[in-house]
Amino acid sequence: MLGNHLSGTLPSDMGLFLPNLRGIYLEVNELGGTIPASICNASQLILVDLGGNSFSGLIPKSLGNLRLLQRLNLGLNNLTIESSELNIFSYFSSNAYLKNLYLSMNPLNGVLPNSIGNHSIFLEELDFTGCTIKGNIAIDIGNLSRLTYMSLGGNDLAGPIPTTIGRLSMLERLFLFDNRLKGPIPSDICYSGRLGNLNLAGNKLSGQIPKCVNNITSLRYLTLAFNQLTSRVPLSLWRLTDILVVDLSSNSLSGSISSSIGNMKVLTILNLSRNQLSGHIPETIGGLISLANLSLAVNQLEGSIPISFGGLVSLELLDLFGNNLSGEIPKSLVVLRYLKYLNVSYNKLRGEIPTQGPFVNFSAESFMSNDALCGLIRLNVPPCKEASLGPRKAIGVSILKYVLPTLGLTIIVVFVVLVSGKLHGKKNSKLSNNKDSMPWLTWRRISHQQLLQATEGFSENNLLGEGSFGSVYKGRFLDGTYVAIKVLNLELEGAFKSFDIECEILQHVRHRNLVKIISVCSNIDFKALVLEYMSKGNLEMWLYSNAHCLNMLQRLNIMIDVAAALEYLHLGYSTPIILCDLKPSNVLLDEDMVGHVADFGIAKLLSDGISLTQTMTMATIG
C-alpha cells in the first residue's frame, strides 16, 4: 500500500487478530497517531515498513518482542524515545535476525550510547540521519562487523571518528555528514575494502586526507567538503581510476593539482573550490571526457585556461571564479555543446570573449572583473578592436580550426560503431549489484494517484503516442515538472516482460543521448515508467511532417547523437545491449534538439557467447 495517500490511524488492536502476518507495507502515506503496542502480537512479522507518514509518540518497546523481525523502517515520521539515551538498540538485543533499521528524520533527541556495538551485532543497514542525536561515536561501533550501510548524518555528534571504524570490512556506504566531528580522518578507514561512498562533509575534521586512500579501490563517491582539512591533496588520491565524484571544496588544502588527475577517466564531478590551491591547471584534465561538473573557484590558480578543455565533451558546468588566471578564454570551448554554466569572473583574463556555441547564452555575470576582456556590448565589456582578418575570413578560420576536426571525429566514431557492431563481440559481465551504482535508490517516489493528477486522469488530451505495449502521456506534477509517463497495457502478451526489460536497462545505463528514467510506479494491476519529457517530439515527426523542417546541421547533430548512444549500448557498457527497434519514432528530441534514444521494451542483453554479428537478424539494426 505504498504511496496511496492512506490517512487516519492504525487500529489499537491490529496485532491481536493477525497472528500469521509476515509484513506490513504502509510506507509513504498520510497515516498518523501512535504505533499500537499490540503489533508485537503478530509474532511472525518479518518486515515492518511505516516510513514516510506522520506517526508520533513513542517508539513501542514491544517491537523488540518480534523475534523474527528483519527490517524495521520508521523513518520520516515524528517519533521519539523514552529516555535521553538512545536505548532503542537494547530493544532488539535478543533479536538475531534484525538486519535493517531505519529511523531517519525523527526527533529522537537522544545520545548515541557507548554500548551501541554490544547490541544488534547482526545489523547490515543502519540509518539515523537527521534524528538530533548527540554524543560521540563509540569505539564499540567496530563490533557491528556486518554493516554495509551506516548513516549518522545530519545530527549533533561530536568528538573524533573512532579508528575502529576500519574494522567494518563489509561497509559499502558511510555517511557522517553535517555533524560536529573533529580531529583527523583515521587512516584505518583505508581498510574498508568495499567502501564505495564516503561522505564526511560539513564537520570540523582537520589534518590531511589519508595517503592510503588509494587502497580503497572500490571508492566511487568521496565527499569531504566544508571541513578544516589542510596540507596537500595526496598524490595517491589521483590513482583512484574508477572514482566518479570527488568533492573537497571549502577546506584549506594547498599545493598544486597533480597532472595525474588525467587518470580518472570516468570522473563526472570534481569540486576543489574554496581552498588554497596554486600553480597551473593541468592540461590532462582535458582528457576527462565524462566530466560534467568542474569547479576550481576561489583558489590561487594561475596561468592560462588549458586549450585542452575543448575535449571535455560532457561538461555542463565550469566554474573558475576568483583565481589569478591570465591569457585568453580558449576558443576551443565553443565546441562544448552541453555547457550550461560558465564563470570566469575575478581573474586576469584578456582578449575576445567567444561568441559561438554555448557562449551565445552566457551573460555578463560570467565574465566580470577581468583585466582586458572585450566582445559584445551585452557582456558589459568594451568592443574588440578590428583584427586584420575580415569577418568572413575569421569565420573561415574558426570553421577550419573547430568545426572540421569535430566533423572528422564524428565520421570516425560512426565508422567505428558500424564496423565494431559487425565484426566484434564483446565479453560481458553481469550487471553490477553494487548499491552505489543503483540509481533507483535516489529515484523520486511517485504514486499512482500522482500520475492520475499529472495526466488529468490519463486524458486523451495528454496522450503523446501509442506503442506495442501501451501508451505514453504527458504529465505535469504540482511542482511544475513535465514528464512523459509510459503506461503498460498489461492485457497484452509480453507487456510484463517488456516492463521488466526496460526497468532493468534504464536503471543501469547512463548516457546523455539515452532517455532518462525518473521513477517507476508498479503494483499488481498497474505498471508505468516515468521518463524525462522531450519537448520537441520525435524524429519521425520532424522528418515526415510539412509543419517541421530540419536543416543539414541539425540532421548531422542528431545522427551523431544516435551514433553515440549506439556506441555506448554496444561497446561502452559492461553488457552489450541491442535495441532491436531503432526507428525515427524512437529518437526523441529535447528543447535543444539533442537526440535521445528511447523504448527498450524489446531490447536484448547479450549473454556469453553471443556476438553483435549474431544479432543482426533479430530486428532493426541497433
By three-state DSSP, how is residue 201 classified? coil
Please tell me the distance from the alpha carbon of residue 365 to that of residue 215, in angstroms, as a whole number: 42
Phi and psi, residue 504, nearest 5°: -60, -40
Please tell me the distance from the alpha carbon of residue 505 to that of residue 605, in angstroms, as a whole number: 8
Other beta carbons within 10 angstroms of residue 405's beta carbon come to: 13
Secondary structure in 3-state letters for 314-363: CCCEEECCCCEEEECCCHHHHHCCCCCEEECCCCEEEEECCCCHHHHHCC
Q: Is 590 a catalytic residue?
A: no
Please tell me the distance from the alpha carbon of residue 68 to that of residue 46, in angstroms, as a whole number: 6
CB 153 within 8 A of CB 199: yes
CB 99 within 8 A of CB 125: yes
| 604 assigned to a ligand binding site | no
Strand order across the beta sheet in which 517-523 lies: 463-466, 470-476, 482-488, 526-532, 517-523
Please tell me the distance from the alpha carbon of residue 520 to that of residue 443, in angstroms, as a whole number: 8
C-alpha angle 445-450-455 in degrees, rounded to nearest 5: 130
Strand order across the beta sheet in which 54-58 lies: 7-9, 30-33, 54-58, 78-80
Q: How far is CA 308 from CA 314, 325, 330, 358, 621, in A?
A: 13, 15, 9, 17, 35
To which H or E segment does residue 501 belong?
A: helix 495-506
* Selected catalytic residue, list 49, 319, 436, 581: 581
By three-state DSSP, how is residue 221 classified? strand
Please give the annotated binding residues, written as ranges: 486
Please give the annotated binding residues for ATP, written as ranges: 486
Mind telling me the catalytic residues? Answer: 581
